Amino acid sequence: MTFALAVAALVRHRTRTLLAILGVAVSAAMLLDMVMLSTGLRESFRELLLARGYQIRVTPRGTLPYDTEATLAGATALVEQLRSHPDVDAASPALGGQLFLPRGDTTITAVALGLDPRVQADYELESGTEPRAPGDIVVSAELLARLGLRLGDSLTAGAAYDAQLRTLAGEQRLRIVGEGRFLNFPTGQLVAAVPLGTFQRMSERPDQVSVISVRVREGRDAAAVASWIESSTPRVSARAIEEVLAQTDERLSYFRQLAYILGATSLVVGFLLVTTLVTVSVNERIGEIAVMRAIGVARRRVVLQILIEGAGLMIAGSVVGLALGLVTARYLNAILADFPGLPAAIDFFLFQPRAAWTALGMLAAAGVLAGIYPSWRAASLPIARTLREEAVG
């Protein structure tokens, strides 16, 4: 009965109820987006780093992966040393550089990675096969389109290019065997991967790598392994993912603070909107409420009815806001994804069911709180005086 009366009170003023739901939906959409922004970027970055299951990055001391041209010499011995640790499941060496690809009158420049295809940590194969032979190459979709070639075609590439003589250094004939999605590079980047030994010969950097990615066995402590690597090999830096994420959190604190402020603002706006509309609704029905009290309706039922009205507006608006927030987040994410140098796999607004439930829960609680003042006022009305004033009015 109480629920039916609350619904009837909302339906009686359809236009006002609809506008209230739309207003709450806007607040709910902003709150959801801000909750997604506050946690999404970190989780998206974490998923990117762990996409291939490697928890540690080993680089020349003081550098980041591919951040400089510094390399680790004696890579074969270093990789074997890492693989000998009982907690290490796999070690994936990679050498970064450039490939120069002549096409007619122009030369296309692409980022190149020399990898061990058996344990590579830098791309996901979308079609074709892994590069098994020394002359095989895997390219990004953008590079494949730029070259105007298909899987199975061959091309000439070099690790260096003399613009004056128009000659290639480290020239190699390669066959395209696969198309890959390279995880750590932005959309549109021209990227290629060749077997590590092949690229070391082409670039004249024998037994050198830029980074070694390490995968720790399940249940083992990655931070402890990273500490062992640095203590046993002082010339390298070993960063566990958790350490990288901690540094990332410091740099992303601005985004979190902005998200918290805007999220709190949207929650307050929704609360005030519902409080105002429920109060107006109660003021219009003072006589009706007084009659209900006069015929014996308990005070708690009056309070419950008005609380249901406030919560109903919030929940209905939140459901609409959930859909609106997802659409808005997708649009904003598409804009931010064009930021220069940002990996294509990074999402600023990453949808997580927990984030949605958090936003909806806060809004539902705000709806209940929004009905407290008007319900208390309605339940506290002096019955006789209210009826007399309504009759005279």
Per residue in 114-127, pLDDT tens?
A: 999 888 888 889 99
Reduced to 3 states (helix: H, G, I; strand: E, B; else coil), residue 380 is coil
pLDDT for the residue numbered 256: 73
Q: Nearest 5 degrees, angle CA 142-CA 143-CA 149?
A: 110
pLDDT for the residue numbered 334: 75
Q: If you average pLDDT over residues 383-391, what whole number do you get?
A: 63
CA nearest to 288, candidates 388, 376, 390: 390
How far is residue 252 from each of residues 130, 246, 303, measured CA to CA in Å?
36, 10, 44
pLDDT confidence bin for 200, thresholds 50/70/90:
very high
Between CA 232 and CA 82 the distance in angstroms is 10
Query: Is the pLDDT confidence value at 390 over 70?
Result: no
CA nearest to 315, candidates 375, 361, 268, 267: 361
pLDDT confidence bin for 209, thresholds 50/70/90:
very high
pLDDT for the residue numbered 369: 77
Query: Is the pLDDT confidence value at 341 over 70?
Result: no
Between CA 174 and CA 280 the distance in angstroms is 75
How far is residue 216 from each of residues 53, 55, 82, 88, 201, measured CA to CA in Å?
8, 7, 10, 5, 30
Query: Is the pLDDT confidence value at 43 over 60?
Result: yes
* Pairing state between β 191-195 and 56-60: unpaired
Query: Is the pLDDT confidence value at 305 over 70?
Result: yes
Reduced to 3 states (helix: H, G, I; strand: E, B; else coil), residue 99 is strand
How far is residue 49 from each of residues 39, 121, 204, 230, 332, measured CA to CA in Å?
16, 9, 29, 20, 23
pLDDT confidence bin for 183, thresholds 50/70/90:
confident
Query: Is the pLDDT confidence value at 8 over 90?
Result: no
Least confident among 294-298, 303-307, 325-329: 294-298
pLDDT for the residue numbered 9: 63
Environment class of 306 (CB within 10 Å of its CB; exposed 0-12, middle 13-18, buried 19+): buried
Query: Is the pLDDT confidence value at 83 over 60?
Result: yes
pLDDT for the residue numbered 163: 63
Retrieve residue 347's tokens: 């999402």
pLDDT for the residue numbered 252: 67
Q: If you average pLDDT over residues 264-284, what whole number do you get?
A: 78
Between CA 53 and CA 345 the distance in angstroms is 15
Q: Could you give the angle at which helices 299-336 and 253-284 cross, rounded to 10 degrees?
A: 150
Between CA 323 and CA 316 the distance in angstroms is 12
The most confident of the ranges 49-63, 132-146, 227-241 is 132-146
Query: Is the pLDDT confidence value at 316 over 90?
Result: no
114 neighbors 164 (Cβ within 8 angstroms)? no
Retrieve residue 32's tokens: 């959801």
Between CA 132 and CA 197 the distance in angstroms is 11
Q: If you average pLDDT over residues 32-42, what whole number do you get?
A: 75
Tell me which of 278 and 98 has the higher pLDDT: 98
The alpha-helical segments, DSSP class H, found in the chain are: 2-12, 14-49, 75-83, 141-147, 196-202, 222-232, 241-251, 253-284, 286-294, 299-336, 353-370, 372-379, 383-392
Tell me which of 392 and 13 has the higher pLDDT: 13
Retrieve residue 60's tokens: 């020349």
pLDDT confidence bin for 360, thresholds 50/70/90:
confident
Tell me which of 389 and 91 has the higher pLDDT: 91
311 neighbors 368 (Cβ within 8 angstroms)? yes
pLDDT for the residue numbered 135: 92
191 DSSP β-pair partners: 111
How far is residue 52 from each of residues 118, 228, 332, measured CA to CA in Å?
12, 22, 27
Sole residue written with tokens 């959409």: 29
